[in-house]
Amino acid sequence: MKNKLRNRNSLAHDSLTTAPAAAAAAAVGTSRKMATLARTLHLVSRIRPSTVLSILPRAAAVGCLHTTSLQEHRGVSRVVQPAIDKTSWCSSSVRDYSSKPPLTLDLIQQRVLLVLKLYDKINPEKLSVESHFMQDLGLDSLDHVEVIMAMEDEFGFEIPDADAEKLLRPADIIRYVADKEDIYD
Amino acid sequence: MSKLPRHTMSLKRFMLRTEAIKLYRNILRQLQHLPDKNQRAEIREWARQDFETHRHHEDEETIKRLIMQGKQQLEELERTIKRANG
């Protein structure tokens, strides 16, 4: 907000607050930014009239981009904090922007089985790594689609249809994820 | 004459079945674009109900017609989600 006010203080035009607001909004394209822009423009237009009208939209766009990039940096470091705290106590001077925990075959197996246990159509007592979804666990093909979508959600990558129809046991899924993530334990 | 197991379906039926499963998967994928999780679960339940009620059909024409209807509904869903996300 302060950055925007500093930019706007020298560039105000009293009679055309709507036009530059619209132009700036078109340049930036987010409604929240538009609201704050409109507010700052109304405020500034009362402070001092000026003839430098053309710079206003550009400055507004630059100001908004500046704050968005600031927010993005802030957002990234907020996401990264937990990863740094959990994985290593001595690397506080090193920035690690990867947000996935390191995968091992064991971890993949745990995660796959956990997702399956949480699925309400599967009986957790019958579940094992080698149990077949349709024959042992009594799922049908639509349930299978839901299971594969849950796995895509869990591991963060899309599984194409052709591959999905071959993944009929938890063991298949574990091997598939390990292949995709290049893990060879 | 045929040495296949008794409940093997014809190739056409198999392709239709694959189409139906693909349709269900595309609906679920489209729903990922919805920010509200409750809405997502609601529409998923509703779609699943629809599929279940028509599970029993044996006639090819009926199945084809229902799949076409499903695809149109999916396009409608896509458009609605695009509009909602702006």
Could you give the ipTM of this predicted complex?
Answer: 0.86
CA atoms of B75 and B40, how far apart (whole Å): 16
Residue in the structure block whose two tokens are 């249809």: A161
Tell me the one-letter amino acid at B39.
Q
- The pLDDT mean for chain A works out to 70
CB-based contact (8 Å) between A141 and chain B?
A: yes
Q: How far apart are CA A157 and CA A108, in angstroms?
A: 14
3-state secondary structure A78-113: HHHHHHHHHHCCCCCCCCCCCCCCCCCHHHHHHHHH
Is A179 annotated in the active site? no
Question: What tens digit of pLDDT does each residue of A8-52 get?
Answer: 544 444 444 444 444 444 444 445 555 565 565 565 555 555 544
Write the CA distances from B36 to A101, A159, A163, B28, B31, integer angstroms. Answer: 27, 23, 29, 14, 10
**How big is the A-B interface in CB pairs under 8 Å?**
19
User: A137, A127 in Cβ contact below 8 A?
Assistant: yes
Chain B CB within 8 Å of residue A149 CB? yes
pTM for this entry: 0.60
